[in-house]
Amino acid sequence: MDWMAWTWPTAIFFLSIAGLLIIFSILAIKFPETPRTGILRIETTRGDRLFITLLGSAFINLGWLGIVGAHQPYALLVCLIYAFAVFRWV
């Protein structure tokens, strides 16, 4: 598996995703929620909003790489603002 370039940033990324899934699973068990309707006019739960956030963040990072270049810490800031907006209004 040398071709996969497993580096510390890659490991941190996948561990973060795994941690989020574990946290959201625990939250779903301890604090069940009813779906809510936001600005998209669809019913979403915490898990749906997490998926929308992760998918949107991937597109933000790809667009950032294509337009700006390799200054990814600033893209992370944009992704955090996007995540806040999704969990607040979607």
**Rounded to an integer, what distance in angstroms lies between the CA atom of residue 74 and that of residue 34?**
34
Q: Two tokens at 1?
A: 């598996």
pLDDT-derived band at 3, boundaries 50, 70, 90? low
Say what the pLDDT of residue 1 is: 53
**Rounded to an integer, what distance in angstroms lies between the CA atom of residue 64 and that of residue 84?**
19
Say what the pLDDT of residue 19 is: 97
Region 78-85: mean pLDDT is 96
Instruction: Give the Cβ contact number of residue 49 at 10 Å.
Output: 19
Please report, for residues 7, 20, 24, 39, the alpha-carbon distance to residue 43 in angstroms, rounded to integers and kept in the order given: 38, 21, 18, 10
- ∠ Cα 47 24 43 (to 5°): 25
Region 4-33: mean pLDDT is 89
**Rounded to an integer, what distance in angstroms lies between the CA atom of residue 4 and that of residue 21?**
23
- Summarize pLDDT for 47-73 with one digit per residue, the tens: 999 999 999 999 999 999 999 988 888
